Structure 1
Amino acid sequence: MDKADAQRRIEKLRTKINDLNYKYFVLDESEVGESIRDALKKELIDLETQFPQFITPQSPTQRVGNVLSGKFAKIAHKSRKWSLQDAFSEEDIMLWYERLTKFTTSTNFDFVTELKIDGLNVTLWYEKGKLEKAITRGNGREGEDITHTIRTIKSVPLELREPITIEVSGEVYMPKASFEKLEGFANPRNAAAGTVRQLDPKVAENRDLDLFFYEIGECDKRPQTQKEVMETLNSLGLRTDSHYKHHVDIKSVLEFCKQWTDKRSSLPYDIDGIVIKVNSMESQKNLGYTAKAPRFAIAYKFPAEQAVTKVLDIIIQVGRTGALTPVAVLEPTLVAGSTVSRATLHNEDEIIRKDVRIGDTVIIQKAGDIIPEVVTVMTDLRTGAEKPFKFPKECPVCGSEVIKPEGEAISRCSNTSCGAIMRESLAHFVSKHAFDIDGLGEKVVDQLIDAGLIHDAADIFGLHRADLLGLELFQEKRADNLLNAATKALDITLDKFLFSLGIRHIGEQTSQIIGRFLQNKEVPNELMKAPSKREKAQTSLFGDEEVDADMFPIPAIMYAMERTSLEELTSIEGLGDKVATSLYDWFGEDGNTEFLQKLFAKGVNVLKMREIEGKEGISGKTFVITGTLESIGRSQAKDMIIKNGGHVSGSVSKQTDYVIAGENPGSKYTKAQELNVQILSEGDFLNLFE
């Protein structure tokens, strides 16, 4: 290739790559795959290496420059960069709206709202379409030159789509997914700020920053409205956040703020509020500025997802598997729109690592679906009166020894008959996806235990009407309802029965895998009979053959497990070592064997699981559900998937086929976007069953 051909090819490649980058980063359109963009860029790099005389600063290959030798240069802004007044409630927004009419004769305002990206404000200068400078906000009048790191951001054009001279401002941010790969920063905002101030641009290039633009300063021709500002930025190739919206009245603005207060965690980047601007540039000019901020704009700040409060006490909760979980009792405080008075401390190791003490001032957080937790202790506010917490050596409920298996973070009560374990186990045993027995709430269970009527879950099936009517909480109707529910629950499918046992690490889907494995084991015919307590009734209703074909009684389960090795369990697809060991150990304990025999004696009749007739598009697929489903509940959606041969997972991975996104989806939605997992609306999901 001669010089002339090389120059023409280089120019064409630059134009094409810039056009593809514009479509991908600004318009969110993928004309070609990433591999194609990479191939074009590689060809350009090869040609520029061969013909270096044709390299220009605006080439897509020249984003990363040399390492700076020292401090960042200070540069004066062409126009002042103002801070915005904050609003923390709907009332604050309305007060601002009322003040607008005091400074102009107009009462008919329209507005533009923009998501307030939680990042670092920067200003870029383009001279005849070419990037000249990038500057931090600094003190609003003077900032630092960070051109070398801003050039590394792939969505920032080194050359605009028009050769105009313009000053633009935006927010540099780090996507959540990129932040999770980094260490040493408290949050994505700090990571973004630290990255743009790196002397070596290669560090910035490897950290995957991004930038949204939202403001035009000095330029050849200013737009007449803020809406036109956003449209102009996009047309020039400067990426804007697509969620901005034009509103004809303040009521619509308030609704927008409310919607995003609920949806904020669904985004792949952090936002901390909504910026509200009067749309008309003429009105903005007439409204002017105070000494500190423009009158024509305000920043609505979301209710804090983090808050400062005091630790009043630390208590221990005992779960159904005996796990001891420390919980911080807090001075009630508002976090993410709700009052929080307790936060998890997870385990003893976390208390030690964070050095949480009774009386400490702490920062707590609540984000998305996550329960409140203590993030950090403000040790500089300690007075000396704070008390270190000593993790108990004995169970606070039953007084038994607390054990902490080697290699595990969780401490557990060693007494399987502990009252707390029994209460939590009972709640699990009667839950919807287990025996599904209504009428056994916490207060009822406590009264039954205190009266000596229940010592374990099997005793539920031995309750008598006369015993219940002697208790404070029971009248005739309530007693009859509970007894009827218990009788109805005696017939249960194998998967639900296994789930009801509350074995560690074994959830609904794992129970199905284990159930299908067990019911395919060969078992002697004499073990395939109904419980003796119900044998006559079953035979008279169905006849021996049909009952035997449908049942997999408790003795059959025990027989099958006795003849299954740990190695065989471990080899079952979908189980893994931890689940297999937990299952094997549970069935090997004498106390559990006695409990199973007791259930059989009380008349519990376990039925085989039906063979699944897989539905195309669902069978063999893995689903994750996030957010609130309006027409069907999450439990019903889960049942629909499982009954049609699909799997439901609690987390998103590369193996996930679909994420079903309801209202106010959480972090799983973001993860799906990052991994390019197909996202289904509730309607899309239901269409799979048509």
Structure 2
Amino acid sequence: MNLEEAEKRIKKLREKINELNYKYFVLDESEVEESVRDSLKRELIDLEAIFPELITSDSPTQRVGSVLSGRFEKIKHKTPKKSLSDVFSAEEIMEWYERISKLTSEKIEFLCELKIDGLNITLQYEKGQLKKAITRGDGVEGEDVTHTVKTIKSVPLSLPEPLDLEVSGEVYIPKKEFERINKEQSERDEKLFANARNAAAGSVRQLDPQVAASRNLAMICYHIDNSYADSQEDALKFLDSLGFKICKHYKKFQSIDEVIEFCNSWQEKRKNLEYDNDGIVIKVNSFLQQQEMGFTAKAPRYAVAYKFPAEQVSTQIIDVHFQIGRTGAVTPVAIMNPVLIAGSTVSRATLHNEDEIAKKDIRIGDTVIIQKAGDIIPEVVEVLKDLRTGDERIIEFPDELHGVKVERKEGESAHRLTNTNIQAVLKEQIAHAVSRKGFNIDGLGTKVVNQLVDECLIDDAADIFNLTESDLLTLDLFKEKRVNNLIDSIEKAKNIDIDKFIYSLGIRFVGEQSSLDLAKFVFDHAKKSTKKIEKVSTPKMQNTLFGETSENTESDFTILDLIETVCSFSLEEIVNIDGVGDKVGATIHSYFADATNQALLEKFYKLGVNLITSDLKNEGKFSGKSFVLTGTLLNLTRDQAKELIKKQGGKVQSSLTKETTYLVVGESPGSKLKKAQDLGVKILTEDEFSAL
């Protein structure tokens, strides 16, 4: 980026950040997640570091606090209230530690506290009596909100000692109280609060103190004048002794490694807190060392705020690539400036299809908000159109890829290759077959699959089971030990649940649940026919989702039987299988009728792939019951929960209907929770699900 481009980008970023800050701090409105504001500001800081000549005094990066609203009397703070610098990773915590280590000759002790996502308030006491409660404001002066803060039960109106004291903390609304408030707002057809922090800020800034009193606000305090303590730990204990509410989860550490471990430990635990917690405040414990380290123009050097990995951040699209899938579908993928999200750095996000691009009006050069949930590839949520410069480019789909024509058929959302008999598609098909939900072959990732195809060692997924040690040792990716491990994994993978085998075939529209539906129907049909299905006593080992191997028994229902049974069904019979339907049924019927596909299945059989049907014979406690999962489960991954349900004869659905038996709710459940309540579907917490 040259100086002219940087100047244009910086101007747009400042305008957008100032607009978002005004809405958030003055109007108590949230247009975007706080993490998005953070990432925009971070980009601005980085650009100003590269082009320091473009820094201006009115830049948001130079501001200490927020704009005042003008509704309340302004009061000057006795000491300026500076913001903490943010850090977003263990590496950045280490960089901070290395900087401050040079500022003192003594060993550093750390005090870590949970960062409450609330409204910063300073309490001023004279002779033990509360006189003023002031918002942080611009850091120099704030607004007098004493009339509402006095209604907060955790704020002492008088102290046990006649002290002149200034105390800082965060006013917040407990999560359950926030849910109650928004429910009442909804019943009155009034605007809902975007989050608990906005609700707390809006309550404190009410002219009528009765409104604040009715919302059961709370305040956690963490700062006093240095004259009353020698360390942050002593300050918290002193506040506690005076009757202030403090965060009881603070902890003292002797090393920075322990600090990082503490930060990581709260990533999941924080969801069980009564308040929103978006990070950890890390401070040098000794006040003497704090004074030694001092301040920069904007923040103390002796403390930082570690922010938990964000689910939504902003970044810029610099290009679009077109990815070919196992069925020949062409998916547009945004290539972006690398950004940290949900704990990992990403530079790609799916744009899904042409309709989705048009709906969101996504262009190359746009600044976008992306989000990542669970293990899925990030996706673009929204375009920040205010940051457009006019240089953005429309995204156009290619007419051909790899020498093959690309077209979009009427009624379909995806563009597709007209011929799928090319290496790019083959690689995707094989990678799908050996993936965790298919054969689950440990050590056979995308790079290995690509090299095996490029070196002509495999022509299809079945050839995996024909690989030898000498084949693998010819690849530059392998040493002897790794070869032996992969050969062992391939041998174990020969014994596979019938539904996972069907899934591994990569039949269009056939996912995990429809694979299981077909497997059950085929097996039940075979049991009722003249075929007798019996167990053979030979134990087999199969890889499981949980990373270990499990003992199974071989059945005499083979891949050849699978081909024969499915081919005996009419299209109507397949379509009428419970959970299948017209679209999925048509692709299953055409796949098994195809001679090339039959030859591939026979090849799997000849190479020793054995179908396990034992799970299909066990009806289980969830037989006849259907489940939908929403939110983040704490003790199981989504795949593990699905596996448990399937093992017990249950069915996992992607969407809710009146026929759904249970909705299992984790953290941050989203819209499915309300829909389940409207439909009358029974709702289970994770603990209730585990107890079934």
TM-score, with structure 2 as normaliser:
0.60
One-letter identity of the residue aligned with 2:408: V
Q: Which amino acid aligns with 1:351?
A: I
Give the 3 Å change call, closer, same or farther, for CA 448–82 of structure 1 in structure 2: closer
Shift of 1:143: 1.6
Larger mean CA deviation between 500-509 and 193-202 belongs to 193-202
State the distance in 1 between where 2:424 and 2:385 align.
Answer: 34
Is the Cα contact below 8 Å between 1:82 and 1:140 reproduced in 2?
yes
Larger mean CA deviation between 374-383 and 646-655 belongs to: 646-655
Q: Distance in 1 between matches of 2:402 and 2:193?
A: 38
| 8 Å Cα contact 1:624/1:650 also seen in 2 | no
Question: Residue in 2 aligned with 1:215?
Answer: 222
Contact 2:626 2:662 in 1 (8 A): no
After alignment, is 127-136 or 312-321 more displaced? 127-136
Note the alpha carbon deviations across 1:305-336, whole angstroms, 9 max, x for none. Answer: 57765433111112234443322223445667
Q: How far is the alpha carbon of 1:204 from its aligned partner?
A: 7.5
Equivalent position SS for 1:431 = coil
CA distance in 1, matches of 2:377, 2:367: 19
Q: Which residue of 2 aligns with 1:255?
A: 258
- 1:66-465 aligned at under 5 Å gives the runs 72-76=71-75, 79-84=78-83, 86=85, 88=87, 89=92, 90-100=94-104, 107=106, 110-124=109-123, 134-146=133-145, 156-157=153-154, 168-172=167-171, 193=201, 196-197=204-205, 212-217=219-224, 225-231=231-237, 233=239, 238-247=244-253, 249=254, 251=255, 253-260=256-263, 263-264=266-267, 267-268=270-271, 273-279=279-285, 283=288, 297-302=302-307, 305=310, 310-332=316-338, 339-360=345-366, 369=375, 371-374=377-380, 377=383, 379=385, 382-392=388-398, 398-403=404-409, 405=411, 420-435=424-439, 442=446, 457=461
Give the corresponding residue for 2:56. none
Q: Out of 488, 494, 499, which is 1:495 matched to?
A: 499
Given that 1:458 and 1:598 are in contact with CA atoms closer than 8 Å, whether structure 2 keeps it comes out as no
How high is the TM-score relative to the length of structure 1?
0.60
Secondary structure of 1:327's match?
Answer: strand
Segments of structure 1 that go 5 or more residues without pairing to the other structure are: 1-69, 102-106, 531-544, 660-665
- SS in structure 2 of the partner of residue 588 of structure 1: helix
Q: Which residue of 1 aligns with 2:563?
A: 554
Contact 1:527 1:555 (8 Å CA) reproduced? no
Provide Cα deviations, 1:477-501, integer angstroms capped at 9, x if missing partner: 9999999988986664422222223
Gap regions ≥5 residues in structure 2: 1-68, 535-553, 674-682
* Conserved 8 A contact 1:110-1:278: yes
**Higher CA-based Rg:** 1
- 1:419/1:650 CA distance change after superposition, 3 Å: same
| CA deviation map 1:354-390 (0-9, x unaligned) | 5433344556666875644556556555554332212
Q: Please report the RMSD computed on the Cα atoms of aligned residues, expressed in angstroms.
A: 6.2
Paired residue for 1:569?
A: 577
User: C-alpha separation between the residues in 1 aligned to 2:293 and 2:489?
Assistant: 70
The separation in 2 between residues aligned to 1:346 and 1:410, in whole angstroms, is 8
Task: Call closer, same or farther: CA 1:602–1:377 in 2, change over 3 Å.
Answer: closer
CA-CA distance at 1:392 after TM superposition: 4.5
SS at match of 1:324: strand
Is 1:586 matched with 2:593?
no
For 2:335, what is the secondary structure of its paired residue? strand
Aligned residues: 566
* Distance in 2 separating the partners of 1:218 and 1:517: 73
> Are the counterparts in 1 of residues 110 and 259 from structure 2 also a CA contact under 8 Å?
no
Letter aligned with residue 95 of structure 2: E
Q: Deviations over 1:144-192 (max 9, x none)?
A: 2445766787xx5476797778754222457899699999999876676
Paired with 1:581 and 1:429, the residues of 2 have a C-alpha distance of 24
Tell me if structure 2 keeps the 8 A contact 1:342–1:372.
yes
Q: Are 1:122 and 1:135, in contact at CA under 8 Å, matched by a contact in 2?
A: yes
Amino acid at match of 2:503: F
Q: Secondary structure at the match of 1:589?
A: helix
- State the 1:83 CA deviation: 0.9
The 1-side partners of 2:661 and 2:98 are apart by 46
Q: Is the 8 A contact 1:213 1:239 kept in 2?
A: yes
Instruction: Give the whole-Å Cα distance in 2 for the aligned partners of 1:323 and 1:549.
Output: 31
Between the aligned residues of both structures, percent identity stands at: 39
Provide the secondary structure at the position in 1 that maps to 2:598.
helix
- Residue type of the alignment partner of 1:498: I
Q: Which amino acid aligns with 1:423?
A: K
C-alpha displacement at 1:81, in angstroms? Answer: 4.7
Distance 1:320 1:488 in 2: 25
> Residue type of the partner of 2:562?
P
